[in-house]
Amino acid sequence: MSHPVLNQLSKIYLLFRVWSLDVVLGTLMVGAFIVELLDVSPSSWWWFILASTVWIIYTTDHLLDGYKGKNTQPVIYRHNYHFKHKLVLFIMMIVLSGITLGVGITCLHAEIVLKGILLFTIILLYFLIVHFIQKQNHFFNQKELLIALAYIAGITLAPMVWNNNPLTTHQIITIIVLVLLAWAEGVLASWFDYNNDLHDGHSSFTTTFGKNITRYFLITLHVIIFLLLKANIFFTEDWMQFSSIIIEAVMNLGLLLMLLNPKIMEKNERYRIFGEMIFWIPGIIIFAG
């Protein structure tokens, strides 16, 4: 018999995930990782802008997913929830967008604001194209890759402006690996969501290429990441840089183990929980600095 307190905590954590707050927390942890990697001192308001921007983008995506399945009951709970509460979430998104833009213009360097608005606009336009395009297109269906690129680009944008030195080979490889890890997590989620996405009419890497090809692709991608991390050891100069390699190796191993244990991960959608929690790990870099 389940405990009432545990049931309540489970419901709270479900809402935490449905509202994409686990993604927001992961973004802040990756942000801390990038700040330590580039050795910059961010504005205090940057953390708020980073968190709110990610929430706005992910909420927009989920609202569009929920709207796309309006004629049928969406199988994915997150999409169903966003469709049911679309008005409240839409109003919150608009209000928060205005606040975030105002804070950004007031508190951040103009170059960061302009580049951020450009990146934000490109991401939203892409989401609209993906959600309303009528025919299958292999380029536009690579949602996971473009989200990974936009995700890491958005986090590194301000730190790159604050960084006065050219990127080292170690920093470049570390950022590339972050993109590949984010891509791997997105494709892995689509691999587990294959049947649900087919039911709800959503395109993904796996619905485009199939489960078998996707599995082999992910294994290959994880091997490439491990090889890049091994190569990056030769460009390491201090403990913090070595720690970043260890952190990314643990993240890569975690995602690979999820792929190799599908029955365990499918239960209660553990793949969603652990997939997002993988991106909390970079926050450990704070203790290695």
Q: Give the pLDDT of the chain (289 residues) as one tens digit per residue.
A: 456 776 778 778 888 888 889 999 999 999 999 999 999 999 899 999 999 989 998 888 788 776 655 555 555 677 678 888 888 999 999 999 999 989 999 999 889 989 988 988 887 787 777 666 645 555 556 778 888 998 999 999 999 999 988 999 999 999 999 999 999 999 999 999 888 878 777 778 998 899 999 999 999 999 999 999 999 999 999 999 999 999 999 999 999 999 999 999 998 888 988 999 999 999 998 877 5
- Answer yes or no: is 120 within a domain: yes
- Answer yes or no: is 10 within a domain: no
Range of the domain at 166: 19-287
Distances (CA, A) of 128 to 4, 48, 283: 42, 25, 32
Burial class, 171, CB count within 10 angstroms (exposed 0-12 / middle 13-18 / buried 19+): buried
- Answer yes or no: is 1 within a domain: no
The Cα–Cα gap between 56 and 117 comes to 13
What's the confidence (pLDDT) of residue 75? 54
What's the confidence (pLDDT) of residue 2? 55
- Answer yes or no: is 12 within a domain: no
Domain containing residue 62: CATH number: 1.10.600
The count of C-alpha atoms lying within 13 angstroms of the C-alpha of 244, restricted to the half-sphere facing its C-beta, is 30
Q: What are phi and psi of 50, to 5 degrees?
A: -60, -45
- Answer yes or no: is 3 within a domain: no
In the chain, the number of structural domains is 1
- Answer yes or no: is 14 within a domain: no
- Answer yes or no: is 25 within a domain: yes
